[in-house]
Structure 1
Amino acid sequence: MYGETLAIEDYDDLEDELQAENEDNGEEAGKTWAHLIPLNSQLKKMVLVDPNEKYIFGKDGDECDCVFGTEAFSQSSLAVISKKHFLIHKQPCSADPDDFDVVLQDISSNGTLVNGKKVGKNKFHVLQSNDEISLATNAIKVYMYVSVKSSGGASSFHSEVTDKYLVSKLLGKGACGEVFLVFLEADFSKQYAMKVVDKKSFTSTVVAPSATSSGVFRHNSLNNDVMTEVNILKKLQHPCIIHVQEVFDYPERLYLVLERAMGGELFDRVVKKDGLDEATAKLYFYQMILAIEYLHKQNVTHRDLKPENILLATEDDLTLVKVTDFGLSKLVGEQSLMKTLCGTPNYLAPEIIKTSGMGHYNSKVDIWSLGVILFIMLAGYPPFSDDYDDMPLVEQIKKARFSFSDEDSWSHVSKQAKGLISKLIVANAAKRLNSTQALNHPWLKDEEMKKIAEKLMQEDMENRNSSPNQMSTTTGEMATSRINSEDTESHISNNDPLNETVELKKSDSFKENSETDSANDEHSDTSEQSASGKTEDCPVSKKPKLDAS
């Protein structure tokens, strides 16, 4: 059976296969100058090594170093693959004899593509890490190229990290660090996202790291507090939170090796679509609130929830949501992290801002952030912004002043969705819903949506259980128990309309869910004005821009 095009994390034991092949050939491995990760389940990983400086790929079994045959491709695919389709060679740099480029040359009749673009017959393309190579059409993917050179700042990474993981491209960066794509050196089919936190960017005193323990690498004197937090994070298992695979801790830098979500950040999805339709936003938000309820029950408060920290498992609209960056405050210092985050306060609760992150607060800060995220998903723009020039951003947040008055954005959104937002973005934390109360809101009493979410979570748990060192079946059962059970204490009617819309007048103005707001009936089916205090005559003139925090 010819191979399917699959995600590279679906393949196991590639390194073992390659090692066995080399042993059979009696070859001693030379110095590696390139890695090729298969994007077809029937192809093997290739390690390009000295003294060979050129490898040929195609159908010709006599001339090609990598032969494309019937075990990996259908007859229709083989019909468009040339006997000698492309070659990859090592090109030394004239300025530095120890440096080199890895170059692909297209020698086919029907074309070779790199990242979906044809190279051109007899033309060359200098490969970059994570370039995808396809034959004739982008649908016939064969390999992903991974450079042996360190990426970005990876050359300064500690050897214990780079000996175990091949560091590839930079995936993103934020206030708390950079995220790199990494591959496990022992098995290149396993890829992760590694978050690198520079402790010097935080103001708290850095405690010297400690000795090695299970899942965490540390140096010198043992710091039990950090070690305890790492062990707590590694034990957290829920389909809607990113799994912490491993932690390396040093005096100046922290490395967190994390499960990788292939669908990217929620922020990018919202920006691309200029907001999400209500059904999709509901599916995503339901999973978020399940994850946060789980974390809160484990006595973990996230503190930095924002669309950039909500990841999507796939590029499909119906996809699993995964929360990341939880527990970071315990590893770098809570007050230090909160002071850093106060520099970009768009998603922070008023009680954090009022004390510049130095005061006391509880898990309700996460609920505020979820309310802001829900607003953004439905509207495509933030509830609080510097673009509102009548009031400083910090004052908008302290007063919980926001508006549903942009008719283009909100006229099609249900009354219940806006009602839930109005019970989450409340300045008085005591009157803000908690995670369980939010799950019991009428807007989330959508059984069809819950079935989709349950199916996505169940598939994720089955995938984890089929891999070694992943979470157990009992953990999976715990994760879905919240979905399968009905809260008997809830008095919400499931017959409430879920798609009812309310027309907004152009004269609608900002509202304030201030500390004097009345929000006693947490489960009533109300409009967006139900949790309002006073309103101000300062209508929105234009939608503010959604920027990364």
Structure 2
Amino acid sequence: MEEELALTLTPKEELRSSQHLQGTSIPWGRLITCKTYFESIDLVETTFSFGRADDCDVIVTSKMVNNHVLLNISKRHFLIQREDDGLVYITDQSKNGTFINGVLVGKGKTKILKSDDHISLAGGQNTFYVFLCKGPEGIQDFLPEALKVKYAYIKQLGRGSCGEVCLVKHRDTCEVFAIKKIVKSQRNTSQMHKINHPLKIANEINILRQISHPCIVGMQELLETESEVYLVLEYMAGGELTSKIINQNLTEANVKFHFYQMILAVQYLHLKGVTHRDLKPENILLLDDKPETILKVSDFGLSKVTDQDDMRTVCGTRRFVAPEVLHNAFRDYGEYGKEVDVWSLGVILFLMLSKQFPFESDDVDTLRQQILTGAYDMKGQNWAEISSEAKHLVRSMLTLHPKLRIKLKDIFKHPWISRDLPMQYRVQRLLQESGCDNLTEYLEELEPPEKKFKFTLFNSSSSSSRSDSTLILETGLGDSSVKCQ
């Protein structure tokens, strides 16, 4: 790459570059001139300025251009900077305008440059430079061309067998997003059990398109190709709730603040006729690492993109599965519904309060039996300081039979939640600050449309290992099998 970025510089840059050649710095980009009176420039310093002022890196004078051109160039016309995230930004500092590919940046505004961008001055028709980028943004192939023009690649966040997730920034607004790429499986029936089957992906995309809530990760846009799907999602810099539970000493007040947001999100989903069915800390994301922050529910059955191994994912999910999923004795006519989300929320609440799982075993059969019998307790030092109201709510949620389990709408009325008005106010204020004007529409106590799921358990091989068990989902749209993780 150094050979491709040959050192062709203005006089001022020649001295600066010679100093770097003696050291360890190498060019991170290049401005290729489109004018005979300018020279191409290798970008080595973190900033580069262009204009008529004496302190600019390229100083435009009447000896270089005619007066008509000079009048259109400001003392400080534009600034190019390479930031710590590896991206290259251009800021318009001019009165008459800096243009990228013919589009005005706007005085005081910043955009992210990509390779082959044309930098023009007044009017947008007069191209002075073509920018070439070196480094991850210049050579990455994660994004297809249709998204590269909008988003700048920063780094990979996670990778799995079905795809990967990467951090990006919008080139015009500099907003940060996460883009999830899902590689589609084959469409044939034998592949229906796979979580990246095109029909399953289409179903989950339809869900994402229908929902919009401040406590649910939103989809900015979607691009689908013949072999892949790209989801542009909100980026939650605080990571998974799992990390917060493990690494921070959560007070009961902290737990309640975050749990309240969870039930807001799940209540909204249920009102929309959506049952999540895979609620767990890994699928709950945080905006930042502050003690009180916005929480958002994510992952509606799309491909798992994680750096965790499959066995850990399977065990982690099984701990949150409701008893009616595991055994039809707890179902009506082989069906189960939205009550499974209440159970999973109860397991999450138990874990947040005590840093312990209510059901814990490395043996899958033992773990299954613990869940089916409700074999948990609230003894030990971790529960000593927890209020009786919190314990009562956990027991109400971890009730074995779904008909006797507390309803989600009644969790809002439970004293542990309903009597803590300051907590509810703090949540509402935080969500309003993030752009949510009114939460009342999300707090309606309506019975959502009933949605039932019928499952049959069978072993996919002659092996007695429960970890290979598969659940067959029977719906009105046809049969498909999904892994009971």
What TM-score does the superposition give when structure 2 sets the normalisation length? 0.58
Q: Which residue of 2 aligns with 1:428?
A: 401
Task: Note if 1:179 corresponds to 2:180.
Answer: no
- The reply to whether residue 297 of structure 1 matches residue 285 of structure 2 is no
One-letter amino acid of the structure 2 residue matched with residue 254 of structure 1: V
**Structure 2: distance between partners of 1:263 and 1:161:** 25
Offset, 1:188: 5.1
Distance across 1 between alignment mates of 2:113 and 2:355 = 36
Gaps of 5+ in 1: 1-45, 68-87, 90-101, 103-113, 115-126, 132-141, 210-222, 332-336, 463-475, 489-548
| Structure 2 counterpart of 1:363, from 313, 317, 338 | 338
Question: Which of these residues, 480, 488, 491, is aligned with residue 440 of structure 2?
Answer: 480
Q: Give, in angstroms, the shift of residue 480 of structure 1.
A: 3.1
Give 1:438 deviation, angstroms.
1.6
Question: Secondary structure of the residue that 1:401 maps to in structure 2?
Answer: coil
TM-superposed CA distance for 1:383, in Å, is: 2.0
- Residue 372 of structure 2 is matched in structure 1 by 398
Q: 1:192 to 1:390 in 2, by over 3 A?
A: closer
Q: Does 1:190 align with 2:172?
A: no
Partners of 1:165 and 1:183 within 8 A in 2? yes
Residues 172-321 of structure 1 mapped to structure 2, 5 A cutoff: 172-173=158-159, 178-185=164-171, 187=172, 189-200=174-185, 203-204=191-192, 230-250=205-225, 252-273=227-248, 275-321=249-295
Q: CA deviation at 1:349?
A: 1.9
Is this contact kept in 1: 2:267–2:442, CA < 8 A?
no
Instruction: Report how far residue 143 of structure 1 moved.
Output: 13
| Match in the other structure for 1:456 | 430
Distance in 1 (alpha carbons) for counterparts of 2:278 and 2:364:
27
Q: Is the 8 A contact 1:57 1:66 kept in 2?
A: no
Q: Deviations over 1:83-140 (max 9, x none)?
A: xxxxx99xxxxxxxxxxxx9xxxxxxxxxxx9xxxxxxxxxxxx77489xxxxxxxxx
Rate the CA distance shift 1:177–1:342 in 2: closer, same or farther, 3 A: farther
Structure-2 change in CA distance of 1:143 and 1:236 (3 Å): closer
The Cα of 1:343 is off from its aligned counterpart by 8.2
Instruction: Give the 3 Å change call, closer, same or farther, for CA 450–300 of structure 1 in structure 2.
Output: same
**Distance across 2 between alignment mates of 1:431 and 1:176:** 39
Distance verdict in 2 for CA 1:178–1:226, change over 3 Å: closer
Q: Does 1:52 pair with 2:37? A: no
Runs of 5+ in structure 2 lacking a partner? 1-27, 33-39, 60-79, 89-109, 115-132, 305-309, 329-333, 447-484
Alignment of structure 1 residues 71-86 onto 2, 5 Å: none
User: Match of 1:194, SS?
Assistant: strand
The whole-number CA distance in structure 2 between the counterparts of 1:263 and 1:290 is 19
Structure 2 residue matching 1:56: 3-state secondary structure: coil
Q: Distance in 1 between matches of 2:242 and 2:113?
A: 28
State the distance in 1 between where 2:112 and 2:240 align. Answer: 22
* 8 A Cα contact 1:208 1:250, kept in partner: no
CA displacement, residues 426-484 of structure 1 (integer Å, 9 cap, x when unaligned): 3322222232122221110111111101111211225xxxxxxxxxxxxx53x33455x
CA 1:458–1:156: 2 relative to 1, 3 Å: closer
Query: Is the alpha carbon distance of 1:175 and 1:417 closer, same or farther for their aligned partners in structure 2, counting shifts above 3 Å?
Result: farther
How far the C-alpha of 1:155 sits from its partner, in A, is 2.7
What CA deviation, in whole Å up to 9, does each residue of 1:207-264 have, x standing for no partner? 997xxxxxxxxxxxxx8x9667535422312111111112233454332211112322
* Partners of 1:325 and 1:373 in 2: CA distance: 16
Pick one of 146, 155, 169 that aligns with 1:160: 146
Deviation at 1:181, TM superposition (A): 0.7
CA contact (8 A) 1:128 1:145 kept: no
TM norm structure 1? 0.52
Matched-pair contact (CA < 8 Å) for 2:319–2:360: yes
Larger deviation, residues 443-452 vs 58-67:
58-67
Give distance in 2, aligned partners of 1:155 and 1:229: 26
Aligned-pair identity in percent equals: 35
Sort the Cα spacing of 1:182 and 1:353 in 2 relative to 1 into closer, same or farther, 3 A.
farther
1:322 to 1:230, Cα distance in 2 relative to 1, 3 A: same
Query: Tell me, what secondary structure is at the counterpart of 2:239?
Result: coil
Indicate the SS of the match to 1:155.
coil
- Distance in 1 (CA, whole Å) between partners of 2:376 and 2:161 is 25
Distance 2:221 2:258 in 1: 27
Q: What is the match of residue 170 of structure 1?
A: 156
Q: Deviations over 1:395-433 (max 9, x none)?
A: 2223232221222x1101111111111111233222222
- Paired residue for 1:381, among 356, 359, 369? 356
Deviations 1:494-535 (A, max 9, x none): xxxxxxxxxxxxxxxxxxxxxxxxxxxxxxxxxxxxxxxxxx
Aligned with 1:305: secondary structure? coil
The separation in 1 between residues aligned to 2:43 and 2:204, in whole angstroms, is 49
Change (3 A) 1:361 1:156: same
2:323 is aligned with 1:347 = no
Bigger radius of gyration among the two: 2
Distance verdict in 2 for CA 1:406–1:130, change over 3 Å? farther
Separation in 1 of the partners of 2:280 and 2:318? Answer: 10
Residue 177 of structure 2: SS of its match in structure 1?
strand
